[in-house]
Structure 1
Amino acid sequence: MATNTPASTPQAPPEQAVLTPREILVAMSGLVIAMLLAMLDNMIVAPALPTIVGDLGGLDRLAWVTTAYILASTAATPIWGKLGDLYGRKGVFMSAVVIFLVGSALCGVAQDMNQLIAFRALQGLGAGGLMVGVMAIIGEMVPPRERGRYQGVMAAVMPIAMIGGPLVGGFITDNLNWRWAFYVNLPLGAVALAVIWFTLKLPRRTRAGGRASIDWSGAALLTLWITTLVLITSWGGTEYAWGSGRIIGLGVVTVLGFVAFLIVERRAVEPVMPLSVFRNANFSLAGALSFIVGFAMFGGVTFLPQFQQFVQGSSATNSGLLLMPMMISAMAVSVAGGLLITRTGRYRALPIAGGALLTAGLALMSTMELDTSRTTSALYMIVLGAGMGCLMQTTMLIAQNSVALRDMGAATGASTFLRNMGGSLGVSLLGSLYTNRLRDSLEAQGGGAAAGTEGLGSIAEVTPEVLRQMAEPVRHAFQVAVTEGIQVVFVGSAVVAAVGFVLAWFIRHVPLRGSGPAPSAPRQDDPVPVEAGAAKG
């Protein structure tokens, strides 16, 4: 610790921002809009992609419209968190919103696919600061003990984005120009900026020793190995074989870049990702759980619409609506868990219960068959959503409570980064399992299945519409293959979730900063136990 506390270290404010409940709710309205922008963007753009390709051309570069955004946002997340620690969260967060809006406007005026990809990267750069900025600001505005009162507001954003995004994107594509899929961000972003500017009140950052020392080397190395790792997970098994020279080369660069990053961070005056926070056992466990939640949740849930559309016969719009049981369950449990934490000040049971429910929900999903009804799958989704609700907010709360206030942004960025990387790896690895099982099943069934897909360049070209036009034996064979692929995906997700359930038992209870409703709640534990915990690990 001593090596990372020089004279230029930012001085943590003695207390968190003292705001009334009304002031917090008003300020959070701007934060909610910003978080909605980050979550909605890809979901609104996805339905417009076929139209975009038809207008701009460049089908071979279609994947880069999404990959460029993911690369930039993932690499930028921890950097934005650290910049907030150094220069103050309000100004840094508003800068991220402005960059996101500029990128959105430029995407709307793109004249070819190369321009669109470049502008999407700029948009992703800003998006990386939106999520981490929201969570870090809330972490500074509201003590962990009191956060449950406001947790429902943030928990409502995900179902709105998951359900509303495809609906809005589909409406824009069908009734307006695809460019409005990007322009729609501008008025929302302007409202968010205005609300944040006038209502958000946070303590000023005071620094001893003058200007901050920015860890440019660490930021560059972090960007390097994250970029190569995301490229591996995006390209491996799809664009290139896992054993190809390009994937192996990217793997070597990732390992060397990561090792160099660790060396630089140990010596940096103001490391972009302070390694000292990982000495805290609770923080490391919460980070591992964030990674596992991202892997199991995003990796598994990404493929659920495949089953709903190909096997259960739902439309793309309806498959989004059919996710409502999971989202409502996640939101309800998240709110209830937050209120429980506020009332009791205890949280250890939630990640344990969440790990058990997440594992059970994914295991139930793995039992789905051709004749599984929508009601049955909805019940399974409720269990899965309950596990998500126990874990999503609680892991962030544990991570933030495990570090000093001066490292809030870096800790939030690290936790968010781990969840994003877990989701990226989950989608890639589970996607490879799904595709291979789908192909193997079709080959094993042979006959009609092989003949029915012979004219297609790839099984990926089979859409629900194409499937409905196939002969009954071919359609049945493909539905069997999809079901078997989904079963493999959820089995893999359940195994990973089970590891998270085991890790959750090692989390220990550390008193939360901030007072509870009981008059006897101690106040002297505000910074002292956290600082000690961060130092001892």
Structure 2
Amino acid sequence: MVLPLTGLLMALFVGVLSSTIVSNALPRILGDLGGTQAEYTWVVSASLLAMTASTPIWGKLADLYSKKLLVQAAIGIFLVGSVLCGLATETSQLIGFRVLQGLGMGGLQSLAQVVIAAIITPRERGRYMGYLSAIMSVAVVGGPLLGGVIVDSPLGWRWCFFVGVPLAAISLLVLQRTLNVTTEKRDDVSIDYLGALLIAVGVSALLLWTSLGGKQFAWGSPTSLGLIGGGLLVLVLAVVVERRAKEPVIPPFLFRDRTFVLATVASLFVGVAMFGSTIFLSQYFQLSRGASATEAGLMTLPMIVGMFLASNIAGQLISRFGRWKRYLVFGTASLTVGLTLEALLITSTVPYWQIAIAMALVGLGVGATQQNLVLAVQNTVALRNMGAASSTVTFFRSLGGSAGVAGLGALLASVVASRTASGLADAGIGGQANAVSGGQVPNLAELPEPIRSIVMDSYGHAIADIFAVAAPLALLALIAVSFLREKPLRDTIDIEQPRPERIDEPATVGRHQTNGVTPGPVLHGTVRADGFPAGGAMLTVLDTDGSELGRTRADDTGLYQIQVDTGTVSTIYNWNGRPAAHRVTVPVEGLHLDVDLGPARDDPATDRVPAVSVIGTPARDNVGADRG
């Protein structure tokens, strides 16, 4: 268990690290490649767009195909993208290779959680989710520090991309030799290509709007309105397609689950805090306090320590006691308080120890929440939907981070420009306002006094305003997790299949009865209506003479199982007036039969069993598992 998880966490660390390591290196990179300010934005946005849009697709593929093969594919794509980024000779190449790198990063983020869910029970999963959270936190916050060190060293900026290649290659070899994940074979695999395309296009359009709005085009311009309207329209079409798809990328029925919806909402806002805090704190220390790139990374250590401690301690306690909600409430509360303190305290002259306390609280909050929100969802979802559910929560966290960074960045640029211009005017040097407030990141070492102090003060106030916006979002996350209903973590990999529910007493399932326990093979499967689980659907089993052999009711996820005799039987399913009937031959080893209910009829009770005989698929070892 240790070796495959080590390889998995190593690959995840490298993937997340690559998304932040270039933040301090981009000015040097674009200077060498002759890039423009517009291309600066695209280098950052390209990987985030690809990572966010591909995350749910990777997750759904993990429900259909070999998880091990998909992890290896994601690492391979990331490796190729990283090498090509390091070899780029012009900015357009770098942007294209960053897209490739982002696709691999999306797979690593999504599949790491899915693989852990496939081999570790939720009760034990808490500690491993803690390790996962710690790895991600250190990679997100430590990336800018490492990038600054590499850029300032003789290695040069290209090693920001090369540095992760050896680790990724080692992780690929380790996983090839040690990772064994059972893949559930399905005879009716289908991929919702149209739904995947629509989700990717719709999300990308909205992320492009938040990333480029106010920079490449005005917020109220036709381009801006077109991206908003087009993105929303495509996402509406995606919902329509997903509702009709046999294997939707994001199963719509997941949104019927209260835990899933609330955890998704909380992840969205935690994503804003997680990515926004790290990126803008680095700018604060460099542009408002005059620190170097390396010093700025070191000054964020309180947040790194907070994330590391909270994720590991919370994970250990969750595995020991099986309770998780208290840590989510603590985490989101700590996050809210930390962001509020940053909004109130941050200026260019505030004592560092005060900011350190606020950063530590933010770190504790992010560490206690980001992966445990995924754990809460995994605890309520069947294994067959684990990939889609886990990746959807991760997708919304990435979406919050990407959109939040873009939106907060636009706010930062606006406030800095306004305060710098007014500060220069008050100092009687308004003629130089355009030189330092035209949207370019200033080089403080080249600015004379008092312009330097005015610019530093402007950045201090602007970044405080950013945290003033982020704090209410963290409060919304706190409200969301407060309404979660805690279900103790189960001790099984998959949700236990429902036991037959006896409608008539004494039990009449099968032709024999022994102390209430009925021998015989098991008929099992899933009942669906319009692609959604038909929770509570009634199943009646009849023999060839029309005599009732027994009844049962499907659970909330549409799963059912009932013991019957071997031979030919008739099955009648009914859910809210939606009937279906089949005649099947049940072998000794049992039978797996999935059912899609027909349209509602005026009098379902009069429906006759069709004369056609349906021979189902014999059950396999894990009786009761839904394989439809």
> Which range, TM-score by smaller chain?
0.7 to 0.9
Cα distance in 2, alignment partners of residues 176 and 142 from structure 1: 41
- Alignment CA distance shift 1:533-1:504 (3 Å): farther
The alpha-carbon deviation at position 453 of structure 1 amounts to 3.5
Matches within 5 A, 1:24-173: 25-59=2-36, 60-162=38-140, 164-173=142-151
Cα deviation 1:302-330 (Å, max 9, x = unaligned): 22223222333322211111111111112
Matched residue, 2:174: 195
Residues 13-412 of structure 1: matches in 2 within 5 Å? Answer: 23=1, 25-59=2-36, 60-162=38-140, 164-173=142-151, 174-209=153-188, 212-368=189-345, 369-412=347-390
Would you identify which runs of 4 or more consecutive aligned residues in structure 1 move more than 6 Å? none
| TM-score between the two structures when normalised by the length of structure 2 | 0.75
What is the one-letter code of the residue matched to 1:197? Q
Deviations 1:127-167 (A, max 9, x none): 21011011111111211211233344323323532454334
Correspondence for 1:460:
440
Q: In 1, Cα distance between the equivalents of 2:313 and 2:307?
A: 10
Give the match for residue 513 of structure 1. Answer: 490
Kept in 1: contact 2:408–2:466 (CA 8 A): yes
**Partner Cα separation in structure 1 for residue 138 and residue 477 of structure 2:** 27
Once the two structures are TM-superposed, the CA of residue 372 in structure 1 deviates from its matched residue by 1.4
SS at match of 1:458: coil
Match in the other structure for 2:604: none
CA distance in 1, matches of 2:319, 2:251: 29
For the residues of structure 2 that align with 1:534 and 1:476, how far apart are their CA atoms? 61
| Matching of residue 496 in structure 1 with residue 473 in structure 2 | yes
**Deviation by residue 1:337-392 (Cα, 9 ceiling, x = unmatched):** 11221121111212222221111111111111343111111011111212112211
Equivalent-residue separation in structure 1 for 2:433 and 2:124 (angstroms): 57
Q: Report the counterpart of residue 476 of structure 1 in structure 2.
A: 453
Amino acid at match of 1:510: K
Distance change in 2, residues 1:415/1:235 (3 Å): same
Bigger shift: residues 58-67 or 27-36: 58-67
1:457 positional shift: 6.5
Contact 2:145–2:293 (CA under 8 A) maintained in structure 1: no
Letter of the 2:311 counterpart: S
Query: Cα deviation per residue 1:81-118 (whole Å; 9 max; x = unaligned)?
Result: 11111002111111111111112222233333222222
Residues 47 and 292 from structure 1, CA distance in 2 versus in 1: closer, same or farther, beyond 3 angstroms?
closer
- The percent of aligned pairs where both chains have the same amino acid is 39
Q: Is the 8 A contact 1:147 1:342 kept in 2?
A: yes
- Structure 1 stretch 241-250 or stretch 384-393: which is displaced more? 384-393
- 1:183 corresponds to which letter in structure 2? F
Contact 1:230 1:424 in 2 (8 A): yes
Question: For residue 165 of structure 2, what is the amino acid of its counterpart?
Answer: L
**How far, CA to CA, are the matches of 1:121 and 1:204 in structure 2?**
29
**Contact 1:44/1:181 (<8 A) preserved:** yes
Change in 2 beyond 3 A, CA 1:260/1:33: same
With 292-301 and 30-39 compared, the bigger mean Cα shift is at 292-301
* Preserved CA contact (<8 Å) 1:442 1:477: yes
Identify, as 1 or 2, the structure richer in strand.
Answer: 2
Counterpart of 1:26, as a letter, is L
- For each residue in 1:269-327, what CA deviation from the matched residue of structure 2 results, as whole angstroms up to 9, or x when unmatched? 11111111111100110000000101233224422223222333322211111111111
Find the residue that maps to 2:14 and give its secondary structure.
Answer: helix
Contact 1:404 1:527 in 2 (8 A): no
Shift in Å, 1:233? 0.9
Q: Equivalent residue of 2:218, what SS?
A: coil
Deviation at 1:217, TM superposition (A): 0.4
Give, in whole Å, the separation in 1 of the partners of 2:466 and 2:498: 45
Distance 1:426 1:251, change over 3 A: same
Distance, in Å, in 2 between the alignment partners of 1:305 and 1:127 is: 22
| C-alpha RMSD of matched pairs (Å) | 2.4
Give the deviation of 1:416 after TM superposition.
Answer: 0.9
1:418: how far off? 0.1
Q: Which structure shows the bigger proportion of residues in helix conformation?
A: 1
The answer (yes or no) to whether the contact 1:280–1:534 under 8 Å persists in 2 is no
Amino acid at match of 1:463: N
- Which of the two has higher C-alpha Rg? 2
Distance of aligned partners of 1:139 and 1:464 in 2 relative to their CA distance in 1, 3 Å threshold: farther
- The AA in structure 2 aligned to 1:227 is S
Indicate if the aligned counterparts of 1:280 and 1:535 stay in contact, CA closer than 8 A: no
Partner Cα distance (2:557, 2:349) in 1: 52
Distance change >3 Å, CA 391–CA 533, structure 1 → 2: farther
Greater relative contact order structure (CA < 8 Å, 6+ sep): 1
1:220-256 deviations in Å (ceiling 9; x for gaps): 1011101101101101122211101101001111011
What is the CA–CA distance in structure 2 between the aligned matches of 1:524 and 1:119, rounded to whole Å? Answer: 38
Q: Which amino acid aligns with 2:371?
A: Q
Distance 1:359 1:470 in 2: 38
Structure 2 residues without counterparts, runs of 5 or longer: 500-532, 536-554, 560-628
Question: 1:436, CA displacement in angstroms?
Answer: 2.2
Distance 1:144 1:122, change over 3 A: same
Q: Helix, strand or coil for the counterpart of 1:116?
A: helix
Determine the C-alpha separation between the residues in 1 that align with 2:248 and 2:191: 8
**1:381-427 CA-partner distances (Å, limit 9, x unpaired):** 11121211221121111121121111111111111110011111211
